[in-house]
Amino acid sequence: MRLFRFFEGLVDPYVAHPQQDAPPRRLLPFMLDYSRPFRGIFAVAGLLSVVVAAVELLLIWAMGWVVDILAASPEEVWRDHGWTLIALGVFVLLIRPALQALDVLILNNAIMPNYGTLFRWRAHRHVLRQSVGWFEDDFAGRIANRIMQTPPAAGEAVFQIFDALTYSLAYIVGAFFLLGRSDPWMTVPLVVWFGLWLLLMRWTVKRVQPASKAASDARSFVTGRVVDSYTNIHSVKMFAHHDREVEYGREAIEQARRTFAAEMRIYTIMDVALTALNGLLIVSVVGIALWFWGLGLASVGAVAAATALTLRLNAMTGWIMWALTSFFQQLGIVAEGMETIAQPIALTDAPDAKPLALTEGRIEIDRLSHHYGKGRGGLDAISLNVAPGEKIGLVGRSGAGKSTLVKLLLRFYDAESGAIRIDGQDVSGVTQESLRRAIGMVHQDSALLHRSVRENILYGRPDASDDAMIEAAKRAQAHDFILGLQDSEGRQGYDARVGERGVKLSGGQRQRIALARVILKDAPILVLDEATSALDSEVEAAIQDTLYGMMEGKSVIAIAHRLSTIAHLDRILVLDEGRIVEAGTHAELLDRGGLYAGFWARQSGGFLALDEEEAAE
């Protein structure tokens, strides 16, 4: 075990490396960049591969030599060659296995486990740095599939280089030397065969890499569709769309089958052509060797060595061709994965970005516009100042720009024009991590991590004590129901797992855990985006004081359709088509008789029926 650990520790897959905003987009530079920590071990692996091939050729030569010396009597053989035969036996029993063991230890234990790990680790780190918008533009399943399948494909490609390609190249060069040593004419069939073999290899490689990339892309597409159905299983069942989802998946699966079938046709043609070529090699080389033997120009040992060599090449070339096609197949998978892994980071910190120095919590929004690259929607040149400790409510129809404002404040996107400043610092000029640490947010989509309740709440402040975590849960009216939780593996209370996106909990329970997380974070700026939308009136009333306590001493922006949650805030802004059209206190806006007063008049149970109003208009 210590021997294995030694080789497994030769390369650290987590070695520090500078993170690149724009990785190489071409395959070879990309692979070379990821392979830098392995350069030394790759050189050793290549050398050992050549040595192992030379040893195999030496054994074939030795077999021919043994056949030749057997023409003498046994007494003469042992008298003249005994010590050489013993040395050859020791070499075969001890030195050859030791060289082979060193070769496989380098490949199997130093390179293979660590190379895939380094690849996956760096790819995962890079993808996590992408913006929220980047993730919104793709299937989560396809992204995850590329992260999972690309590293083993890269590792397999590297393995084939040293296990097959370097070995086979050294072997073929040695075969030319071995045959030419008997008679140069014996190399002619090998030269012709090798030329035809290269043509077949060129034909195969030219077709197999794009075919493999297409098949890999089709598999990722299948994963994306299947995961999309599983993630939204509630909607699938609720709308009784089982058959529709089956067909949705079948389309992608059939496309994957067709691309894979096209790839397999290439291998079939290659296999049949290779068998014919190898037959030509055996007949020609062995035939010439027998002809020379008949003319007295070659010994029996030379014929035996030539026969063994061609039979070995016959067996080996199929393996080489499959190794080579596997190599390019794996490169095709890597190329497909690069469409995700090598995408540049579009939303980056400025080169001179510094951590946000938050002093008061003053928020200034200056002629901010953002339309997601479209001509309409989003925000249109709005300006707003939030004084330190001021509580602002945002109201407006769906699509008026409320959530867009919050996303720009958190710098999930860069604004198309205008600026947001916190205590005089443009959010685009500070580090993203420091900006988001200063802002606590409860979103209307209170999705949780598929982890324990404890881990979800502590996500707000990982170094908090259990007592602080429980106190936050109590303030969010979550402690009592948490104690009654139990998952399928028997974990209870704060140790119970909540399921993917928190599906094992009700909407109100998820919302309260999300509130507890933000309470624990205790950030100086608070954003509430429909923070009580999933709560029933009784629970909302119970935590109303908690919400106001959370706001104490903080700068607050609260989005709500349920107007009762924002009626007591310092100021309420009404957004319409990306602009602020009304501003004032609850009472002032009611007296004005504008949009807000209309919303208030139409609300039911404190909830703003914006969809109905929008339909009526």
377-402, pLDDT tens digit by residue? Answer: 678 889 999 999 999 999 888 778 88
Q: What is the pLDDT of residue 605?
A: 43
Q: 140-154, 305-319, 602-616: which has the minimum mean pLDDT?
A: 602-616
Per DSSP, the three-state class of 566 is: coil
Give the C-alpha distances (Å, rounded to integers) separating 583 from 145, 403, 411, 448, 579.
48, 18, 25, 34, 11
Q: What is the pLDDT of residue 199?
A: 84
pLDDT band at 604 (very low <50, low <70, confident <90, very high): very low
> Is the pLDDT assigned to residue 301 strictly greater than 70?
no
Q: What is the pLDDT of residue 430?
A: 93
Architecture in CATH for domain 354-360+370-438+525-617: 3-Layer(aba) Sandwich (3.40)
- In sequence order, the β-bridge partners of residue 382 are 368
C-alpha torsion 508→514→516→519, nearest 10: -130
**E strand map for 332-424:** 363-370, 379-386, 391-396, 417-422
DSSP 482: H
Give the C-alpha distances (Å, rounded to integers) separating 399 from 275, 382, 532, 612, 614.
66, 15, 20, 14, 11
* Mean pLDDT, residues 287-303: 69
Run of H or E residues at 319:
helix 300-341
Please state the domain extents for the chain. 2-13+28-341, 354-360+370-438+525-617, 448-522
Q: What is the pLDDT of residue 612?
A: 42
Q: How far is CA 231 from the centre of its chain?
A: 18
Q: Which of 340, 13, 331 has its CA nearest to residue 147? A: 340
Pairing of strands 525-529, 555-559: parallel
535 burial via Cβ count (<10 Å: 0-12, 13-18, 19+): buried
422-460, pLDDT tens digit by residue? Answer: 999 999 999 998 998 999 888 776 778 888 999 999 988
CB distance 574 to 596 below 8 Å: yes
Q: What is the pLDDT of residue 495?
A: 92
pLDDT band at 571 (very low <50, low <70, confident <90, very high): very high
Give the C-alpha distances (Å, rounded to integers) separating 28 from 32, 157, 331, 604.
6, 12, 10, 62
pLDDT band at 182 (very low <50, low <70, confident <90, very high): low
Between 73 and 409, name the one with better pLDDT. 409
216 burial via Cβ count (<10 Å: 0-12, 13-18, 19+): buried
Q: 199-213, 285-299, 381-395, 399-413: which has the minimum mean pLDDT?
A: 285-299
Q: What is the pLDDT of residue 471?
A: 92
pLDDT > 70 fraction of the chain, expressed in percent and rounded: 86
Distance CA 153, CA 116 (A): 8
Place of tokens 């994965």: 337
Q: What is the pLDDT of residue 392?
A: 92
Phi-psi region at 32: left, alpha or beta (left = phi > 0; alpha = psi -120 to 50): alpha
Phi, psi (rounded to 5 degrees) for 592: -70, -25
Predicted TM-score (pTM) of the model is 0.74
Architecture in CATH for domain 448-522: 3-Layer(aba) Sandwich (3.40)
Indicate the average pLDDT of the chain. Answer: 81
583-593, pLDDT tens digit by residue? Answer: 999 889 888 88
pLDDT band at 303 (very low <50, low <70, confident <90, very high): low
Q: What is the pLDDT of residue 83?
A: 84
* Mean pLDDT, residues 186-200: 77
Q: What is the pLDDT of residue 606?
A: 46
Question: What CATH number is given for 2-13+28-341 in this structure?
Answer: 1.20.1560.10
Q: How far is CA 569 from the centre of its chain?
A: 44
pLDDT band at 256 (very low <50, low <70, confident <90, very high): confident
Place of tokens 């210590």: 2
Phi, psi (rounded to 5 degrees) for 436: -75, -25
Please give the angle made by the CA atoms of 454, 458 and 122, to the nearest 5 degrees.
105
For the range 577-582, what are the long-range contacts, defined as Cβ-Cβ under 8 Å and sequence gap of 24 or more?
Answer: 577/380, 577/400, 577/401, 578/369, 578/371, 578/377, 578/378, 578/379, 578/380, 578/382, 578/400, 578/401, 578/404, 579/380, 579/381, 579/382, 579/401, 580/382, 580/383, 580/384
CB distance 502 to 457 below 8 Å: no
530-561, pLDDT tens digit by residue? Answer: 766 655 666 666 666 677 777 888 899 988 77
Give the C-alpha distances (Å, rounded to integers) separating 318 from 119, 160, 195, 267.
30, 14, 16, 11
Place of tokens 């299983």: 233
Q: How far apart are the first and last CA of the chain?
A: 75
Pairing of strands 571-576, 555-559: unpaired
Place of tokens 């306590």: 549
Q: What is the pLDDT of residue 365?
A: 92
> Is the pLDDT assigned to residue 239 strictly greater than 80?
no
The first and second tokens of residue 411, run together, are 């710098």
Q: What is the pLDDT of residue 180?
A: 62
If one counts every other C-beta atom within 10 angstroms of the C-beta of residue 312, the result is: 16
> Is the pLDDT assigned to residue 608 strictly greater than 60?
no
> Is the pLDDT assigned to residue 616 strictly greater than 50?
no
Q: 302-316, 378-392, 575-589: which has the minimum mean pLDDT?
A: 302-316
Phi, psi (rounded to 5 degrees) for 381: 50, 50
Same fold, 354-360+370-438+525-617 and 448-522: yes
pLDDT > 90 fraction of the chain, expressed in percent and rounded: 15
